[in-house]
């Protein structure tokens, strides 16, 4: 089995795609009206319009309702991402902080309120 993607359901695909394009520096691929993928090393972040979930997935997911998952992105320089996302206007939950296990971590929220952790592992 291969873990292939995480899909976020939203009422505003363009806004969410813009956020993740800015965060990752990777342009999304728009596969259909209301559906895009940000293809990153190791995984794809899919972004789907709520209306598609209602049409094709029995309304099984609700946009902007997540309160338990954290999307995590590993980078080499957390401060560079912090500066870029602060300029973007992303809500910063926690400025870059060194965690007890050594990771440098930044917490922010995407436009739908999903929690995003951007981290760098300590140099070894």
Contact 47, 16 (CB under 8 A): yes
Which tens digits make up the pLDDT trace of 44-70? 999 999 999 999 999 899 999 988 999
- The domain limits of the chain are 5-120
C-alpha distance from residue 97 to each of 7, 43, 88, 110 (Å): 28, 25, 20, 19
User: Is the domain defined by 5-120 classed in CATH 3.40.50.2000?
Assistant: no
Which tens digits make up the pLDDT trace of 98-122? 999 999 999 999 999 999 999 999 9
Distance of CA 100 to the CA centre of its chain: 24
d(CA 81, CA 109): 13
Q: What is the pTM of this model?
A: 0.92
Strand order in the sheet with 43-49: 5-10, 43-49, 35-40, 29-32
């Amino acid at each position: 089995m291969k873990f292939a993607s995480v899909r976020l359901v939203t009422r505003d695909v363009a806004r969410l795609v813009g956020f993740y394009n800015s965060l990752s520096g990777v342009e999304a691929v728009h596969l259909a009206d209301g559906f895009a993928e940000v293809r990153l090393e190791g995984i794809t972040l899919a972004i789907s319009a709520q209306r598609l979930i209602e049409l094709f997935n029995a309304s099984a997911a609700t946009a902007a309702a997540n309160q338990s998952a954290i999307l995590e992105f590993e980078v080499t320089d957390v401060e560079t991402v912090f500066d870029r996302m602060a300029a973007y206007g992303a809500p910063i939950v926690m400025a870059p902080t060194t965690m007890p296990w050594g990771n440098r971590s930044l917490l922010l929220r995407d436009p739908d309120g999903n929690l995003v952790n951007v981290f760098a592992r300590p140099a070894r």
